[in-house]
Structure 1
Amino acid sequence: MKKIGIFVYEGVEPIEIAIFGTFSMAKRVIPDLEMFLVSENGGDVLLANGLVVKAHHSFSSSPPIDALIICGGPGWPKQVSNRKALDFIGAHRETLTASVCTGAMIFAATGLLDGKEATTKASYADGEVDPFEVFRERFPNVRLNRAGIVDLGSQVTGGGVSLCIDTALHVLAKLYDEETADKVAKVICYDVARAANARERGILVAGQ
Structure 2
Amino acid sequence: MAQRTVLVVLFEGVQSLDVTGPVEVFGGATGPDGGPAYRVCTASLDGAPVRTSSGLTLVPDHTLADAPAPHTLVVPGGIGTRPEVPRLVDWVRAHGPRARRLVSVCTGAVVLARAGLLDGRRATTHWAYCDKLARDHPAVEVQPDPIYVRDGHVATSAGVTAGIDLALALVEEDLGRATALTIARHLVVFLRRPGNQAQFSAQLAAQTASREPLREVQQWITEHPDDDLGVEKLAARARLSPRHFARAFQAETGMTPGKYVDRVRVEHARRLLEDTSRGVEEVSRACGYGTPEAMRRAFLKALGTPPAEYRRRFHAPLPASHPHPVTL
Tell me if structure 2 keeps the 8 A contact 1:94–1:154. Answer: no
User: 1:139 offset after TM fit, Å?
Assistant: 1.1
Partner of 1:172 in structure 2? Answer: 171
Number of residue pairs aligned between Structure 1 and Structure 2: 193
> Which structure is richer in relative contact order (CA contacts within 8 A, separation 6 or more)?
1
Partner of 1:201 in structure 2? Answer: 198
Separation in structure 1 between the aligned mates of residue 160 and residue 38 of structure 2, nearest angstrom: 24
Structure 1 stretch displaced more, 143-152 or 83-92: 83-92
Separation in structure 2 between the aligned mates of residue 49 and residue 188 of structure 1, nearest angstrom: 21
Which string of whole-angstrom CA distances, capped at 9 and with x for unpartnered residues, describes residues 74-125 of structure 1? 11023xx333222322223031110010111111111111111100001xxx
Match of 2:89 among 86, 90, 94: 86
Structure 1 residues 55 and 174: CA distance shift in structure 2, 3 A: same
Separation in structure 1 between the aligned mates of residue 112 and residue 23 of structure 2, nearest angstrom: 19
Partner of 1:187 in structure 2? Answer: 186
Partner SS for 1:200: coil
What is the TM-score when the length of structure 1 is the normalising length? 0.83
Residue 75 (1) aligns with residue 72 (2): no
Separation in structure 1 between the aligned mates of residue 96 and residue 134 of structure 2, nearest angstrom: 25
Residue 35 (1) aligns with residue 40 (2): yes
Match of 1:98 among 64, 82, 103: 103
Which string of whole-angstrom CA distances, capped at 9 and with x for unpartnered residues, describes residues 12-41 of structure 1? 112222221222222487624210111111
Counterpart amino acid of residue 13 in structure 1: Q
Q: Which runs of 5+ in 1 are unaligned?
A: 123-129
Equivalent residues in 2 for 1:137-148 (5 A)? 137-145=135-143, 146-148=145-147
Tell me if structure 2 keeps the 8 A contact 1:43–1:56. Answer: no
Tell me if structure 2 keeps the 8 A contact 1:25–1:184. Answer: yes
Equivalent residues in 2 for 1:12-31 (5 A)? 12-16=14-18, 17-27=20-30, 31=36
User: 1:49 offset after TM fit, Å?
Assistant: 2.8
Counterpart amino acid of residue 26 in structure 2: F
Structure 1 stretch displaced more, 67-76 or 137-146: 137-146
Counterpart amino acid of residue 136 in structure 2: R
Counterpart amino acid of residue 8 in structure 1: L
Partner of 2:291 in structure 1? Answer: none
Q: Which has the larger radius of gyration?
A: 2
Separation in structure 2 between the aligned mates of residue 163 and residue 67 of structure 1, nearest angstrom: 17
Separation in structure 2 between the aligned mates of residue 119 and residue 30 of structure 1, nearest angstrom: 33
What is the TM-score when the length of structure 2 is the normalising length? 0.54
Tell me if structure 1 keeps the 8 A contact 2:28–2:36. Answer: no
Structure 1 residues 159 and 23: CA distance shift in structure 2, 3 A: same
Partner of 2:231 in structure 1? Answer: none
Which string of whole-angstrom CA distances, capped at 9 and with x for unpartnered residues, describes residues 112-141 of structure 1? 11111100001xxxxxxx311211221111
Partner of 2:5 in structure 1? Answer: 3
Match of 2:117 among 112, 118, 122: 112
Separation in structure 2 between the aligned mates of residue 88 and residue 173 of structure 1, nearest angstrom: 29
Structure 1 residues 65 and 199: CA distance shift in structure 2, 3 A: closer
Partner SS for 1:48: coil
RMSD in angstroms over aligned alpha carbons? 2.3
> Following TM superposition, where does structure 1 have runs of at least 4 consecutive aligned residues deviating by more than 4 angstroms?
27-30
Partner of 2:49 in structure 1? Answer: 44
User: 1:178 offset after TM fit, Å?
Assistant: 4.0
Q: Which runs of 5+ in 2 are unaligned?
A: 200-302, 305-328
Counterpart amino acid of residue 96 in structure 2: H
Match of 1:131 among 106, 129, 147: 129
